[in-house]
A and B are shown apart, each in its own frame.
Chain A
Amino acid sequence: MRVEFELRWPISADLALIRELIRSHGERGGLTGERLEGLVIAVNEAVTNVLDHGGKAGMVTALDTGDGVIVDVLDVAGLLTHEHLRAARVDPTASHGFGLWVIQHVCDDVVLQRSAQGSLLRMRVDRPLAAACRSAVVVGKVIRRGERPAHPSRTKPGLSVPLTEV
């Protein structure tokens, strides 16, 4: 029987502290190396977006799934939309959308839920073994892993790939 561990932390401007909490939670969830770094990067970007473009308030919740870690970042203002996620580009000259693009590339899954409580960005990073199994199952069923937008160097300009919508 595994012991579930959950972290809840209100969003504040102390990003260094939030990164530290997420890093230790990720380690507890079995993440290491680039997957752990990716989780920290993604959560930092999501919280930064709440501070810079959202309501500046919300909650970070981290859960251990057994296969890895899920982190929810809630923006109480609810300003983040699916269109923002779709439009995200790695554009060195643009100051917007870069962070959202990064989030979608370091996570195994990103889902946006919008409700009266605000917009909730759910980011999942799997442990390496779980990620490998999942990708094998996905390939076996011939389900495309195209939920994340491709890097612009590998895709046509302006092409956007739909993200999972809830």
Chain B
Amino acid sequence: MGALWQPALPAVPARPSSAMLGLTHQHLPRMSVIAIAGEADRTSCEQLADYLGRVRRPGDHVVVDMSRLSFLDSSGLHVLLLCARTCADDDARVHLAAAHGAPARLLEITEVSAHLPVHDTVEQAITAILNGIPRT
């Protein structure tokens, strides 16, 4: 997997203006890997929604690399769930990966894993997609 996927460069300064997320992506076969850095809240959720809509190729699964996401609120999660709904229209899914801290807590309490596949690492998410592991 390492040959296919390279971790994205750090995209956000240490104390960013809270308005902006650092967003980067890589296209792999059948999937867009999107890394979110910073804090996703009401201020930045529109930026996230725009980016997801722009970057994802039709039919692509989406892997959301949350390893550099330090905060996620309900509006940010809402954006990810709407993206999942768009993906479902062309038989693709949104895979969440490498969440920790507050974002992981939010995913846990909202039981998002009942709707979306949640993985410990980006590599696991990519592997799951490549292997076509069926999930509910």
Chain B positions within 8 Å of A67 at CB level: none
Query: A38 vs B106: C-alpha distance in the bound complex, in angstroms?
Result: 8
Our count of residue pairs bridging A and B at CB distance below 8 angstroms stands at: 66
Bin chain B's interface residue count: 20 to 34
- A86 interface residue per 8 A CB criterion: no
Shortest distance from the beta carbon of A118 to any chain B beta carbon, whole Å: 20
* Bound CA span A99–B84, Å: 19
For the residues of A in contact with B, the DSSP-based class is: helix
Shortest distance between the CB of B93 and any CB in chain A (Å) = 14
Complex contact A51–B42 (CB within 8 A): yes
Asked if residues B42 and A48 are in contact (CB atoms below 8 Å), the reply is yes
Considering only residues 38-59 of chain A, those with a C-beta below 8 Å from chain B are 38, 40-41, 44-45, 48, 51-52
Set of chain B residues within 8 Å of A95, measured between Cβ atoms? 75, 78
**Which of B73, B74, B85, B101 is packed against the most chain A CB atoms within 10 Å?**
B74
What are the residues of chain A within 8 A of B78 when measuring CB–CB?
Answer: 92, 95, 98
Q: Which of B39, B102, B110, B114 counts the most chain A CB atoms within 10 A?
A: B102
Which residue of B has the minimal Cβ distance to A52? B42
Residues of B within 8 A of A17 (CB): 18
Beta-carbon contact of B109 and A44 below 8 Å: no
Query: Provided the pairs A34-B105, A102-B106, A106-B105 are in contact, do residues A44 and B73 lie with their beta carbons within 8 angstroms?
Result: yes
Interface size class of A (residues with CB under 8 A): 20 to 34
Interface flag for B127 (CB, 8 Å): no
Docked Cα-Cα span, A45 to B43, in Å, equals: 12
The closest CB in chain B to the CB of A100 belongs to: B74
Check if A151 is an interface residue, CB within 8 A of chain B: yes
A92-B84, A95-B75, A95-B78 known; 5 new pairs, CB 8 Å cut-off, are: A13-B43, A16-B18, A16-B41, A98-B78, A102-B106
